[in-house]
Amino acid sequence: MSKPADPAYHWNGADLDLDAYLARIGFDGERAPTLATLRELVRLHTTSIPFENLEPVLGRPIPLDLVTLQDKLVRGRRGGYCYENVGLFAAALERLGFGVTGLSARVTMGSGGLRPATHALLRVTTADDERVWICDVGFGSGPLEPYELVEREGEFSLGQWRFRLERRAGELDTDLWVLHQFARDGWIDRYTFTTEPQYRIDFEVGNHFVSTSPRSPFTARPFVQRFQPDVHHVLDGLKLITERPDGSSETRELEPSELPKILSEVFDIELDEADATAVSSAPWLDR
């Protein structure tokens, strides 16, 4: 059965300024839907565009249209959270000829409870390989490469970072995939997901909750991440956390006045004077 013609099923790849996007992440390789290209795109996007939620913290909306995503993440050289990163990345993959399907995950991080499906992933296929890949460019802590959607024994490494992928039986005997990661708290389950297709309109719904609900952690305090092959920087409120692949970490408490400098020097996020002042004196500091 062919894919519906309704453009809502697609990712607006034809409208992407591909040259600007590839320059933003530093890609100068072959523009072909191959596995080698996919791996390089994931690595560069993940390490070039930071994870950040500063707009919701400051009470601003998060539009997911491609014009806004390009203006913010590409031309404005800002970061974004999962829905923004995945929307931009999906448009690039579609433009390059990859097979792209959206998926949603439930972030657990060892909580043991049922969480809403508010994390965006991509299921991707290539022209030169029959395998199915999961691309997660919007979590903020990697992985640096796509990982194959296949049941496997034991852990696997993507760069220096360690993961496990488990397949369980979900509701109605559906496949429920669980990604585990090794970090400062040891092995934890990161999220669960199914392969039920998700579309831009589904991401709009999740994005509305994440960016506006008082129950969303992303409206309560800054949560910013910068992921590199050998280090993961996290700003959680006024805590600056540095993690490494071996599980070691350091945490430093910041003063509010330090935030603009830390955002610039550690996370490569440059704020104008008004936003720098707002972040340093926002109501969240009193929570």
Among all residues, which ones are annotated catalytic?
82, 119, 136
Nearest alpha carbon to residue 179 among 190, 188, 168: 190
Phi, psi of 86 (to 5 degrees): -70, -40
The two structure tokens encoding residue 179: 């990604």
- Residues 44 and 192: their CA atoms lie apart, in Å, by 25
- Is the preceding peptide bond at 143 cis, omega within 30 degrees of 0? yes
Question: How far does Cα 50 stand from its chain's mean position?
Answer: 9
- Residues 257 and 280: their CA atoms lie apart, in Å, by 6
- Residues 15 and 95: their CA atoms lie apart, in Å, by 9
Nearest alpha carbon to residue 223 among 237, 209, 204, 238: 237
Q: Taking a C-beta distance cutoff of 8 angstroms, is the pair 145, 43 a contact?
A: yes
The two structure tokens encoding residue 255: 């003063």
- Residues 61 and 38: their CA atoms lie apart, in Å, by 31
Bridge partners, 188 (sequence order)? 181
Q: Taking a C-beta distance cutoff of 8 angstroms, is the pair 38, 146 a contact?
A: yes
- Residues 275 and 210: their CA atoms lie apart, in Å, by 21
Give the single-character DSSP code of 160. Answer: T
